[in-house]
Structure formats: structure tokens, C-alpha cells
Structure 1
Amino acid sequence: MKILTTIKELQEARNEIEGSVGFVPTMGALHDGHISLIRKARAENQTVFVSIFVNPTQFLPGEDLDAYPRKEQADKKICEMCKVDYLFMPDATTMYGEDEVLIKAPSKSYILEGKTRPGHFDGVLQVVLKLFGLVQPTNAYFGKKDAQQLSLIQQMAKNLFLSVNVVPCDIVRESDGLAMSSRNIYLSKEQRRDAIAISKSLYTAAALVSKKEFDIETIKNRMMQVMENLDVEYIAFVNREFNELKQIEVGNSIILIVARFGSVRLLDNMWI
């Protein structure tokens, strides 16, 4: 595995590569969810790039960029274990210099996560576009847990006629159902135990749909019963294009949840 830190190093490496390139962009603190993306990239491509970059432009004022978990040595070992060919680890100056935001996220970036964190997706799309331009991947792998982010990246690739194939990958969960996240380490033991109710509520929703219950208010009420002890920021029911649904459409619905545990926000969802 080669570790690259500059644009020149990455471009020189990319110019030598032939065949398909799989790319997994991350902010580090790698866990089994990231590993599943990397392994899929490894299985489907001749060359695999992973990037680790804690992107400052997607953090809003008041959000603690410096507190975001960083585990560089462990991350390097994980990438080696997963047989990554190139690991790109730039700093903020390398990625941005004096640049301002070059693109503006579409209107759907200001609902749900974007409503809570206005401007967040501007930063996400900018850094992903830069990375796509540098790595020029054949396939890029993103987890479904960040469903709104995934949808916006897919839309960006389509609107800008990018040749990359954006590959959605299933959520990886702990044995008790909690969706894997770099933020889980900030939960206390009690919060960690309570957080299981998030995935339980989604399984409850899926069970209701399997019994042909498609009424959103009925499903939402049952989910809230399961999460009665949680600080639920929102439950949303949208289709794959992130338009609000009147009722569940099987094969075209996503149920999204955000719950707060003190300063920690946990996201989860289920595609139905």
C-alpha cells in the first residue's frame, strides 16, 4: 500500500493505473462499516483508493471539528489489511488552499439534515467533487446510512455528467442492531443501551409494512412508542428522490431517524 499526501503524488500514481478503480472516501476512524465498503471495492475493481480527510467545510460554526475522532495509525493498518493499493491522506491546505466554496448544493440539501445543518452539504459535495476529479474512479462506494448525502452525491454525478458509478452499500450494524458510526464511541454505557431503540423502531416499521400497513402516521406512532425514552429529532418518510411521502411505497421508500444523546446525533434509516 502506498500512502499519498500531496496532489502531485496522487496524480502521478493515477496516471500509471490502467483498469477499473474503486474509491472509498472517508473521514477516518474506520470501523466495520468502512471495511465493508473497502472490501466491496476490492472485490469489484483492479485498483483501490481510500481517502482519509476530515473535511472542515462540512462542519458548521459551533461544531467541534477538532473533536472529530482521528485514529491514523489504526486506519493505516486497517487499509493494509483490506489490501488497499493507495491511501490518500491530505491536509486542509492541500485540498483547499485559499479556495472558497465552488458549488452550491441543490434545494433538497436544505431539508432534514440540511435544515438542521444548513450549508453542511455544500462542504460535502465540494470535497467529494474534488476527490472525484483527482482519483477519477470507475466506482465510488458510499454507505446507505447517510442516505441524504448518498442521494445528493448521486444527483451531483448525474447533473455534472461525471463518469463515476456511485455504488450504494448496505448499513453495517452491531450485533444488537445499532448502526455503526464513528460517533458511537461518544455514547455512555446507558446511552449506548438506549440507542438500540432506534434500530428496533425501524424493524418495527418494517414488520408493519410486511403486514401491508402503509399508513405513515400509524407507523410513525408505533415507532415513537419504541423510542419513547429517546430525544428524537425527526422521523421522516421519503422516496428515493427524497420527496415526502403520503404513504409507504414498497420498493421506493426510506424511513429516516435522527436521535440525540446529549451532544451526539445518531442517524439511521431503513430502505423499504
Structure 2
Amino acid sequence: MHVVTDLAELRAWRRSARGRIGFVPTMGFLHAGHASLMDRVRPEVDALVVSSYVNPLQFGPHEDLTRYPRDPTGDERLCADRDVDVLFRPEGLYPEGFVTAVTVHGSLTDRLEGAHRPGHFEGVATVVARLLCLVLPSVAAFGEKDWQQLAVIRRLVRDLGLPVEIVGCPLIRDEDGLALSSRNKYLSPDDRKRARTLSQALFAIRAAFQLGERDARRLAETGRHGLAVDRLDYLEVAAAADLAELQRVDRPARALVAAVVGTTRLIDNVAIGGEPTWT
């Protein structure tokens, strides 16, 4: 496995690479969820690239950029175990004087995470577009834990006509139901116990849907009753494909939650009523 930290070195490797290239972009501190993305793509490609870069453009001024967890040695070990060909770990990704931004407009970015983290999805779209242009993959994998992000990236690729297949991979949970996240490292034992109520709320919403409830507001209220969080940013049932607000669940939907437990902000989601058709 090559560990590449220089843009010129990555470009040189890419010029010599042949066949299908797979790509898994990450912010490092890799765990089983990231490994599942690598496992999904590896059998379909001739070479697999994983990036590890904590992107400053997607963090707000009061968010956890400086304390975002890092473990470069562990990242290398996991990537080597997953037969990764290149671990791209740049010290910086943007050249001096970088002034370009990529923005996806509409309900995909205005609501939910977009409303609570202004500028976040512009930072995500910009870094993903730059990475895709550098790696030039045939296929790139993203986790469904960040469902809204995945939808934004699908739209970005579609609208710009980028020649890459975007693969969404299932959210991975720990044994206690908590969605795997690098930020789980911040949770105290009591925080973790309370954090489990996020997934429990989502499962309650899905159970109510399966019993016949279709009113989106009442479904969300079903989930709110059991939450034990310090701040709830949102708990909503939205259209799965474009994150549009729903009155009734009459199409594939997603129940999504974001909340702060202790000092840690967590997100989670589950499918409600099937999977969307992506165009």
C-alpha cells in the first residue's frame, strides 16, 4: 500500500493506474463503517484509493475541527487489511489563493443539516468535487449514515455530469444500536447510554409506520417521546430522494435525527417505506 501525502505524487500514480479505480473518501479515524465501504467497492475495481482528510471547509466556526479525532497509524493498519492500494493523506488539499466553491441549492441543502450547519454542504460539495477530479475514480462509496450528504453528492455528480458511479452503503451499527461514528469517541459511558435513544426513536418511528401510521408529524412525535438528549436539532420524516418536507409518507422516506448528547453532536437515520429510485 502506498501512503501518499503530496498532490503531485497522487497525480503521477493516477496517470500510471489502469483499469477501474474505486474511491472511498473519509476524514480518517477509520472504523468498521469505513471498512464496509472499502469491502463494498474492492471486488469491483482494479485499484482502491482511500482518502483521509479533515476538510476545514465543512466545519463551522464553533464546531469540532481542531479536536476531530485522528489516528493515522490505525488508519494505515485498517486500509492495509482491506487491500487498499493508495491511502491519500494530504496535509493540505487546497492551493494558495483557492477561491472556488461548489454549491447544491434547494431542499437538499437548505433544511435539516443545512439549516443547522450553514455552509456545511458547500464545504462537502467542494471537497468531494476536488477529490473526484484528483482521483478520477470509476466508482466512489459513501455511507448512508450521512444520508443528506449522500443525496447532495448524488445530485452534484448528476448535475455536473461527472463520470463516476456513486454507491451508497448501509449504515453500520454497534451492538447496542448506536450508529458507528468517529465522534462516538467523545461519549462518556452515561452519554453513550443516552445516545442509544436516537436509534431507539428512529426504530419506534419505523414500527409505527409499519403499523399503518402515515402522518409524518405524528410519526416524528412517536420518536420524540423516548429521547434523552441535551439538545434536539431535528427529528423528522422527510422524502428520501430530495429531503423535501412531507405531510404524509406517500413515497420512500427517511426518518432523520440530529441531537447533542453531552458535548457531542450525533446524527442517525432509518429507511421508511422503501428505497428511492436515483436518476
* TM-score band w.r.t. shorter chain: over 0.9
State which drifts further: 2-11 or 99-108.
99-108
Q: What is the alpha-carbon distance in structure 2 between the residues aligned to residue 217 and residue 145 of structure 1?
A: 22
Which residue of structure 1 lines up, in the alignment, with residue 30 of structure 2?
A: 30
Q: Is the contact between residue 23 and residue 141 of structure 2 (CA under 8 Å) also seen in structure 1?
A: yes
CA RMSD of aligned residues (A): 1.4
Q: Give the conservation status (yes or no) of the 8 Å contact 1:101–1:123.
A: no
- Pairing 1:1-40 to 2, within 5 Å after superposition: 1-40=1-40
Distance of 1:260 and 1:63 partners within structure 2:
12
Spell out the pairing of 1:165-244 with structure 2 (5 A cutoff): 165-227=165-227, 231-239=231-239, 240-244=241-245
TM-score between both structures, scaled by the size of structure 2: 0.93
Structure 2: state its 5+ residue gaps.
273-279
Q: How many residues align?
A: 270
Partners of 1:130 and 1:228 in 2: CA distance: 39
Structure 2 CA distance, aligned partners of 1:197 and 1:114?
23
**Secondary structure at 2:178 match in 1:** coil
After the TM superposition, which of the residue ranges 31-40 and 95-104 deviates more from structure 2?
Answer: 95-104
Cα-to-partner distance string for 1:138-179 (whole Å, 9 max, x where unaligned): 110001111111111110101100011111111000001100
Q: Corresponding residue for 1:68? A: 68
TM-score normalised according to structure 1 size: 0.95
Q: Which stretch has the larger CA shift, 210-219 or 76-85?
A: 210-219
Q: Secondary structure at the match of 1:145?
A: helix
Contact 1:194 1:230 in 2 (8 A): no
Residue pair 1:186, 1:264 contacting (<8 A) in 2 also: yes
Query: Post-superposition shift, 1:230?
Result: 5.3
Cα distance, 1:262 vs structure 2: 2.9
Q: 1:55-94 counterparts in 2 under 5 A?
A: 55-92=55-92, 94=93
Contact 1:57 1:124 in 2 (8 A): yes
> Aligned partner of 2:90: which letter?
P
Counterparts of 2:228 and 2:8, CA distance in 1: 53
| Amino acid paired to 1:23 | F
Contact 2:217–2:236 (Cα < 8 Å) also in 1 = no
Letter in 2 for 1:249: D
CA shift in 2, pair 1:218/1:101, >3 Å: same
Q: Which moved more, 1:94-103 or 1:214-223?
A: 94-103
